[in-house]
Amino acid sequence: MKSINNIAVYLFSLCGLLSLQGCEGILEEPVRSEFTESTLLATKSGIESVLADAYSKDGGSRNIVKRGEMTTDILWQSGGGENGTAVPLINFRWDSSSTLEAFDWMNHWEEIRNANIVLANAPTASGFNSEEDRNGLLAEARFIRIWAYYQLWDQFGPVPIRKSLDDPLELPRATDEEFKEFIESELKALIPDLYETGKQPAYGRAHRGAAQTLLCIWYLNTHQWQNCADMAKEVMSSNKFALCPDYNKMFALENEKNEEFIWAKTYLANSASVNILLATNLPWDYYKGLDGGMDGVINEKWSNFASQYRFYDDFYYSFAPEDQRKGRILTKYEDSKGKVVDLLVDYKDATRGMKFPPDPNASANNHGNDFPYFRYADILLARAEALNELNGPNQESVDLVNQIRHRAGLDNVALSDFNSKDAFVDQLMNERKWEFWNEGKRRRDLIRTNRFIKCAHDRGITNAQDFHVWFPIPQSAIDASSLLKQNDGY
């Protein structure tokens, strides 16, 4: 077992290095007493509690949506205290001193720290039913660590790779190639030991299909087209997942655990872990919905934030009239005085996403709708994109896109509609925009296809520059380590 003193030093030092707010609380006496060889780290149940805490450190849905869509042509924000951090995000005015809520740095390092504690102590802990049981939990911890590293990379690029509690407190950033090799090799190594999909200890915990999908998405976002196509095919051939028949019901509470959600962030109404997107998406004076899947739904117990998340009109009007995927975008409602508010007529850029319907068990802003990190639609569109990059427009890619369009109630596109790779990518980026709104994928899609900065320029953000594809590492973290180098441009 890793010595308790070493862990205490590791936690304390890492807190300082990463500017972990409130980290001194980790070493207060009640917590110190938990880190004893006879309790927390000596048994499977204790190890699982550390792993559960690693899961809890994940950034959650709101920040994923904010940084994934407020930096793009889908979403903007107005009102409330959040406006002070949303405006710099929308206008590409962030810098290394910014304390923007959308940037998740410290929490992912806590996630990595906890995973490393599990990996250091699970090999000698008691209470496992078998070595297969132990290896499954070890693989799960490695997956959570890689998931945290992936989210750090998505925001900041390659970061230091910390695989052990014994690693030096200061580490340099990995090179692009080192980081790519680390992500790929770790995922390939852990997949065989990870729980088979459907046999994980609880819904929401990592499983083989989730790891395969993350590897597929990693290949996609790093332009490893053949690997991406092959891994997507492997997930498809597992027959563990399928498209949910009704797009607009997929995200409702009663349909969580549906066959399309490969891996999701789990929430529970009125608990410490809740989905609060509805509180920012619902108009502040909403009383009764008239469309957007909210028809006749009266607000009797939910609180709405002063902070308001709004869609650009250009995004709303980009949908075909018959596209069912806009069926949960609110355009009309009644206020408490019975006045009909038409968000397309009375306001500009004001329609609202109701993708995650109200949880009937929720009060205030504490809804329990799960948030999908990966859906089967991700896999179909990843393979379609990879095959197009490899071979140009092809019938299989077109067929994969048409599966998505058919579910949305749209006519098929034909191979003859596309005379180049770029023409198909144009179609694919639109399909992804319409399919994944309010799931936080748009920024990475635009970066991957070299359209992120142009998209900003097209909507008037003329100060957007190439270096903005990465966010700045917090200055406090840079100041704490002589080896940690800032991203270019900051």
What's the mean pLDDT in 224-247? 99
Q: What is the pLDDT of residue 8?
A: 38
Same domain, yes or no: 82 and 203: yes
C-beta of residue 478 within 8 angstroms of C-beta of residue 98: no
* Cα–Cα distance, 77 to 307 (Å, whole number): 7
Same domain, yes or no: 51 and 172: yes
pLDDT range class, residue 363, cuts 50, 70, 90: confident
Same domain, yes or no: 298 and 193: no
What's the mean pLDDT in 31-48? 73
Residue 301 predicted with pLDDT over 90: no
Same domain, yes or no: 99 and 216: yes
pTM score > 0.85 for this model?
yes
State the CATH number of the domain containing residue 197: 1.25.40.390
| pLDDT tens-digit map of 128-149 | 999 999 999 999 999 999 999 9
Same domain, yes or no: 91 and 175: yes
Q: What is the pLDDT of residue 13?
A: 38
Residue 194 domain flag: yes
Same domain, yes or no: 160 and 289: no
Q: What is the pLDDT of residue 181?
A: 99
| pLDDT tens-digit map of 79-102 | 999 999 999 999 999 999 877 888
Same domain, yes or no: 82 and 200: yes
Q: Which of 369, 401, 420 is the last residue of a domain?
A: 369
Q: What is the pLDDT of residue 132?
A: 97
| pLDDT tens-digit map of 303-334 | 889 999 999 999 999 999 999 999 999 999 99
What's the mean pLDDT in 263-278? 92
Residue 111 predicted with pLDDT over 50: yes
Residue 375 domain flag: no
> In which domain, by residue range, is 335 found?
267-369
Residue 320 domain flag: yes
- Provide the pairing of β-strand 340-342 with 352-353: unpaired
Q: What is the mean pLDDT of the chain?
A: 92
* Cα–Cα distance, 353 to 107 (Å, whole number): 27
Residue 111 domain flag: yes
* Cα–Cα distance, 249 to 246 (Å, whole number): 6
Q: What is the pLDDT of residue 318?
A: 99
Q: Which of 349, 369, 389 is the last residue of a domain?
A: 369
Q: Is the dihedral of CA 421, 422, 423, 426 positive or negative?
A: positive
Q: What is the pLDDT of residue 36?
A: 58
Residue 384 domain flag: no
Q: What is the pLDDT of residue 475?
A: 95
What's the mean pLDDT in 360-364? 87
Residue 15 predicted with pLDDT over 80: no
Residue 34 predicted with pLDDT over 90: no
Per cent of the chain over pLDDT 90 is 87
Q: Which of 223, 249, 275 is the last residue of a domain?
A: 223
Residue 170 domain flag: yes
Same domain, yes or no: 294 and 362: yes
Q: What is the pLDDT of residue 40?
A: 86
| pLDDT tens-digit map of 409-427 | 999 999 999 999 999 999 9
| pLDDT tens-digit map of 369-405 | 999 999 999 999 999 999 999 999 999 999 999 999 9
pLDDT range class, residue 28, cuts 50, 70, 90: very low
Residue 116 domain flag: yes
Same domain, yes or no: 216 and 338: no
Residue 271 domain flag: yes
| pLDDT tens-digit map of 59-80 | 779 999 999 999 999 999 999 9
CA 270 to each of CA 69, 81, 215, 266, 267: distance values in angstroms, whole numbers, following the listed order: 26, 23, 34, 13, 9
Residues 6 or more apart whose CB falls under 8 angstroms from that of 473 comprise 96, 105, 156, 159, 484, 486, 487, 490
Number of domains observed in the structure of the chain: 2
Same domain, yes or no: 73 and 161: yes
Same domain, yes or no: 333 and 197: no
What's the mean pLDDT in 110-116? 98
What's the mean pLDDT in 229-233? 99
* Cα–Cα distance, 173 to 194 (Å, whole number): 28
* Cα–Cα distance, 436 to 145 (Å, whole number): 25
Q: What is the pLDDT of residue 380?
A: 99
Q: What is the pLDDT of residue 292?
A: 98
Same domain, yes or no: 75 and 190: yes
Plot region of 456 (φ>0 → left; ψ -120 to 50 → alpha; else → beta): alpha
CA 435 to each of CA 1, 418, 482: distance values in angstroms, whole numbers, following the listed order: 47, 20, 43
